């Protein structure tokens, strides 16, 4: 029986080659052969589920301030692509629904890893809104939730116990160990630097390290047959996987 391939999860889409967390980045990741998409969700001032990594729009748009202090209409006026390259000027900040609809149109059947960005701002009711969205939208892909904020994982698990949950962490994994012991999560998404030092000490869980961007780290993940890797460069990861794992 052939061993399973290490899954390639595109971090914020093809973040290394397109403006992160935009529709062009997600489309490029699919074209590059990614098995999964990782992205981040926040809430706007008027209660819309917004796809962006940072709590503020400053770094990846021509705007300023927190997402939670802007309405959807205000966020849609911002340029989320020009900072990366003039070719992407005018690219808009997407909503969760716009990303999901893109994946449906592309007949994507891989992993959709949605990180709730609740570790700094505890958006009131975001877990219920996310669960409600997916309870009312039939999707062809596998949904995976993750968060640095353990309470978000616990709340979502109560709302959608059949969905896969994974815990993110950089150095300490006390919360992750507890959630795994309670069978709330089944996998860890740790920093690749942490993994290189500690992976032999981890319990036998699904490992999908982040952010795996160098050939050296990609080869490390493939050699040890980790469940997956999260990368800004899904195209490079795919080429190396063909060489090392044959697919």
For residue 86, tell me if it sits in a domain.
no
Q: Is 50 exceeded by the pLDDT of residue 171?
A: no
- Is 169's pLDDT higher than 50? yes
Is residue 160 situated within a structural domain? yes
The stretch 165-185 carries a mean pLDDT of 61
Does residue 80 sit within a domain? no
- Give me the catalytic one of 42, 48, 53, 238: 53
Q: Is residue 168 part of a domain?
A: yes
Count Cβ atoms below 10 Å from residue 65 Cβ, excluding itself: 12
Is 42 annotated as catalytic? no
Q: Within a domain: residue 12?
A: yes
| Domain containing residue 104 | 7-56+94-245
Q: How large a percentage of the chain has pLDDT more than 70?
A: 89
The model's confidence at residue 3, banded by pLDDT at 50, 70 and 90, is confident
Residue 186 pLDDT > 70: no
Mean pLDDT of 208-225: 94
Q: Is residue 88 part of a domain?
A: no
Tell me the pLDDT band of 164, cut-offs 50, 70 and 90.
confident
Asked whether the predicted pLDDT for residue 66 surpasses 90, the reply is: yes
CATH number at residue 169: 3.20.20.190
For the stretch 13-36, pLDDT in tens is 999 999 999 999 999 999 999 999
Residue 139 has pLDDT above 80, yes or no: yes
pLDDT at 187: 67
Its pTM stands at 0.91
Measured from the Cβ of residue 119, the count of other Cβ atoms closer than 10 Å reads: 15
> Token pair for residue 231?
């990368």
User: What domain count does the chain have?
Assistant: 1
**Is 82 a member of any domain?**
no
Mean pLDDT for 158-174 is 73
86-104, pLDDT tens digit by residue?
Answer: 999 999 999 999 999 999 9
Identified catalytic residue from 11, 42, 70, 180: 11
Which of residues 241 and 187 earns the better pLDDT score?
241
Give the pLDDT of residue 36. 97
Mark whether 53 is an active-site residue. Answer: yes
**How much is the pLDDT for 148?**
85
- Residue 77, in any domain of the structure: no
């Amino acid at each position: 029986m052939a061993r399973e391939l290490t899954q390639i999860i595109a971090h914020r889409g093809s973040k290394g080659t397109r403006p992160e967390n935009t529709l062009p980045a997600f489309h490029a990741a699919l074209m590059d052969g990614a098995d999964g998409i990782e992205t981040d969700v926040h809430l706007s001032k008027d209660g819309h589920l917004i796809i962006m990594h940072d709590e503020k729009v400053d770094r990846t748009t021509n705007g300023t301030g927190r997402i939670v202090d802007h309405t959807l209409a205000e966020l849609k006026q911002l340029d989320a692509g020009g900072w990366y390259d003039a070719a992407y000027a005018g690219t808009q900040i997407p909503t969760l629904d716009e990303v999901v609809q893109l994946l449906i149109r592309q007949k994507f059947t891989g992993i959709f890893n949605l990180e709730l960005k609740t570790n700094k701002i505890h958006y009131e009711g975001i877990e219920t809104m996310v669960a409600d969205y997916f309870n009312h939208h039939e999707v062809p892909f596998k949904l995976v939730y993750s968060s640095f904020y353990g309470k978000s994982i616990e709340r979502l698990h109560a709302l959608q116990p059949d969905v896969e949950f994974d815990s993110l962490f950089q150095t300490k994994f006390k919360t992750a160990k507890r959630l795994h012991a309670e069978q709330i999560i089944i996998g860890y998404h740790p920093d690749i630097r942490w993994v290189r030092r500690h992976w032999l000490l981890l319990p036998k869980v699904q490992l999908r390290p982040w952010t795996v961007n160098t050939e050296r780290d990609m080869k490390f993940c493939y050699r040890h047959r980790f469940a997956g890797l999260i990368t800004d460069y899904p195209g490079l990861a795919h080429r190396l996987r063909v060489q090392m794992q044959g697919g």
